[in-house]
Amino acid sequence: MYRSNRVMLSLVLTGVMAVSAGGVTLGISTDGKWFTLDGTPTYLLGVSYYGAQTITTTDLRTQDLDDMVARGFNWIRIFARWNTERDGTGIDVSVVEKSGSVREPYMTRLKTLIAECNNRGMIVDVTMSRARVDSDQQLMDVWMTLANQLAAYRNVYFDIANESDNADRFVSYSFMGQIVTAIKAIDPGRLCTASRVPTDADDLEDFHLVGKGDFACPHLCRGEGCSAETLATVKQYVGWMNQRSFRIPVHLQEPFNRDYEHSSYDPQTTDYYRDCGGAKLAEAGGWCLHNGAWPPHAYRSFKMTDDEGRLFAQFDSVETAAAANVHAEVGGTDPLVRRYQAEYGEQLAKQIGRTDGLARSANTTQDSAGYLSYGPYLATLPTDTYQVTWRMSIDDNTSDNSAVVTLDIRDATAGVVKATRIITRQEFAAADTYQDFTLTLSYADSGHMMEFRTYWHDSSYLKLDYIDVCPQRPPVIREVSPDPDVVYAGSEYVRQLSLSNHASPVPTWSVVSGPSGVQVSETGLVYGWTPLAAGAYTIVVRATNVAGSDDESWQVQVESLPAGTIALFPFNSDAQGWTLGLWKAGTHGEGAIAWDAASGNPDGNVKSTGSGSTNNTDSCTREGSILTRSVSTVGFDSIQVEYDVIAVLNTPPDSGCGGTCTGAVLEGSCQDKLAVYYSTAGTSGPWTLAQVLTEGVDLPAAWTHEVIDLAGVSAANNNPDFAVRFKWQFNTAADTGRIDNVVVQGSSITGNQAPQVDAGPDQAVRLPNSADLDGTVTDDGLPDPPGAVTVTWIMQSGPGTVTFGDAHAVDTTASFSALGSYVLKLYASDSQLNGQDVVSMTVNAPAAADFDVDGDVDQKDFGFFQACLSGSSVPYSPGCEDADLNESGDVDQTDFALFQECLSGSGNPPGC
């Protein structure tokens, strides 16, 4: 069989690509209920970020956005025209003039913010108020400019007239419709709204049909008790739309906020959870953690200049807690995951019990047997199979094994119990620890009202946290990135896998294939394998539940450590086996610590933050994080620890730090600081202080490389139990510290020198031929044992795959799957030190005259050519396209001359 060897190259020129390529596109689901992100229905969970253009320090903005993403938020709200005139400073950061002309640098700042949100999968609400311009025409002019300037961004929606039903900023539905029509003439896909409170079904219909609103944004009540009304209010709006046979999302973009100037009530954390959760259960499209105030209060999103601090630095303790927990309290951003919190009466009904923190409980002293929960008479479930989960705890799980609670799923319309389960005392694995218990619901009768009941048997102190209703879904493992994952020999490979969806039920994890020792935990943590030699390895892990399974495969490229390096931790993909911990000096909250994929030096790093507000009066209110790891120094002396560090800190406390508290804070003082310790007896200590970096003295605000010389510490040498610890101390929630590129260095005790490696000369080869690799490795024979060197060939880069004849032989062959440029790397290890070198390979297409593609041009190829000869100007026969070497439409003497140049004989490379 012959094939064409001709390669056709084409260049395609296109217009400007939309910025959302690689980002996220906002849409609305086909049923009109939900927003979609890249086509996936998603509950928008957002944060007010009104005066975003007041931020001038890039790191402060990126820290805010990273904090939002880490807490599960997926959108922000900003104002296109914004100034701080009400505080007397009059800082105007509007991105457009009233006339509609662009204002710089603020428009560029807005575009940068939108692009950064796009990279994080976040949506940006760009809002205008009629009160911030002088006429309807100016409002139109502003929106024409914004529509043109932001047309490339698909992660944006427009609120064209904030609170447009207020007298001082009123915009009629007719004029609203004119603006939306003009915007969509420029950008047909742009979603538009104008926030206002609908008064009845007619008004809501006019908003949609006359005002052309793609979704409704009502600003609801902000007083005490309002959060309990949200579920019913949103249901009322949905009911009005059902009456008029249309459906658009209901988006709560501006609920209540703390320090609101028109109300003396400050919402508490439970108000935020209740409001957001009620909106989601009522099938709203989104909700916002609204914030912002004017003096004498903290500005929050109204003003985020360097002297005021970024948004998360200005949050008070209630807002900080709400931001950290609201995502979990409402069951995440999958709109089909319904989380009913037992403590809220409008979400679940009850016969017995009482609110008990963020739960509902019953006990044998105060209660008789009865329903701790029933309802909610849910009738809007799509037909599907669901996992219903009760999260409960018990005070005593050992005294007997009597029944403590009966769970059931009841079709209230049909009066039929569809599933039931009795839970006994000893089914709880531990006392006072929440545990999940599940039932399966096959829901086929659309419109039937379902209730999920919890009958308590009067034999325990039982707490019901929540009831989840979730469609059964197979797990989807989030793709490992980067792939290949580059690590260094000698350290345990650790990688936390995660799911990109809300799989239900919770999947089990297993290793499909990989190097010997690889394991995966029940939470998707890959561990257990310590690569000892350089090479390329593939790991495949599977997540499985009753709805299906998903495999994730990725490559781990193990590289040799540089000479004199004992261990190297670049934190490119995770915390690399370091133990992350927290501490606090007093009774207030601990700090936070996690691996962070961004803002490192240059990429991944370990990020630590503080908690709470500035602690001027309480010297014990200090907190922080701890980063610990054991690193064996066997075979080395003259130990040295190196690392990169940066700290972005809030203004330090201005009061002294004394009294009885000084013993509790880090190294005897209250300033923000980083202390570095070492242990010669393992991670349990004792720990010896090696270095302290202190705020205002030597704790750096830019990435700085630090070196700790332990050459004089003889106990650190040749020690299998050597360990390192980093300990941060912070005093505010605005404080952030990052550690990156930790290196432990040493000198070889044996005098061993690293192997010398030469991967051979660069080569060019034609497919399908393989390349002969001619490497050279020399070594001093140390250490002994083993007194030998192991070698490994790997592909470092290239457009296809490479197959080695023997990847562990110095001289071997390499075969290639595709044309292009490849870099191959030869590693050599003597068990302590390593050497490496690379060789470049250019893989070309087969010679044109090698018709049978066997690597030579011989008699067989001539037979094919001879059969195709047609003569000058005589078209060749079908199937002879390859023999027309000069592409003239015939096979003649000219083609034969070209064939002769390539003729090489059997087994010899082509001559052309």
Query: What is the dihedral angle through the alpha carbons of 516, 522, 527, 528, rounded to the nearest 10 degrees?
Result: -50
Q: What is the pLDDT of residue 643?
A: 97
Q: Which CATH number fits domain 339-471: 3.40.50.261, 2.30.30.40, 3.20.20.120, 2.60.120.260?
A: 2.60.120.260
**Relative orientation angle of helices 230-243 and 201-209, to the nearest 10 degrees:** 70
Q: What is the pLDDT of residues 172-211, one digit of tens each?
A: 999 999 999 999 999 999 999 999 999 999 999 999 999 9
Q: What are phi and psi of 223, to 5 degrees?
A: -95, 180
Fold of 485-559: Immunoglobulin-like (2.60.40)
Q: What is the pLDDT of residue 616?
A: 44
Fold of 848-912: Type 1 dockerin domain (1.10.1330)
Does the domain formed by 579-748 have CATH 2.60.120.200?
yes
Residues recorded for the chain: 912
Specify the pairing of strand 623-630 against strand 723-729. Answer: antiparallel
Q: What is the pLDDT of residues 9-58, one digit of tens each?
A: 222 222 222 333 347 999 999 999 999 999 999 999 999 999 999 998 88
- 339-471 and 485-559 share one fold: no
Q: Which of 367, 368, 350 is nearest to 359 (CA)?
A: 350
Q: For residues 618 and 598, what is the distance between their CA atoms, to the nearest angstrom?
A: 33
- Residue 851 neighbours by CB under 8 Å, 6+ apart: 2, 860, 861, 864, 865, 882, 883
Residue 530 confidence (pLDDT) above 80 = yes
Residue 618 confidence (pLDDT) above 70 = no
Q: What is the pLDDT of residues 870-888, one digit of tens each?
A: 999 999 898 898 888 888 8
Q: What's the angle, vertex CA 327, arms to CA 323 and CA 331, rounded to 5?
A: 160
Q: For residues 232 and 570, what is the distance between their CA atoms, to the nearest angstrom?
A: 51
**Residue 7's pLDDT band (boundaries 50, 70, 90)?**
very low
Q: Which of 483, 391, 468, 480 is nearest to 437 (CA)?
A: 391
Residue 307 confidence (pLDDT) above 50 = yes
Residue 619 confidence (pLDDT) above 50 = no
Superfamily of domain 756-844 in the CATH hierarchy:
Immunoglobulins (2.60.40.10)
Least confident of 72-81, 402-411, 841-850: 841-850
**Residue 1's pLDDT band (boundaries 50, 70, 90)?**
very low
H helices of 5-150, in order, are: 58-70, 106-119, 136-149
Q: Which of 385, 411, 396, 316 is nearest to 363 (CA)?
A: 396
- What are the extents of the domains in the chain? 28-329, 339-471, 485-559, 579-748, 756-844, 848-912
Structure tokens at 523: 């939470």
Does the domain formed by 28-329 have CATH 3.40.50.300?
no
**Residue 797's pLDDT band (boundaries 50, 70, 90)?**
confident
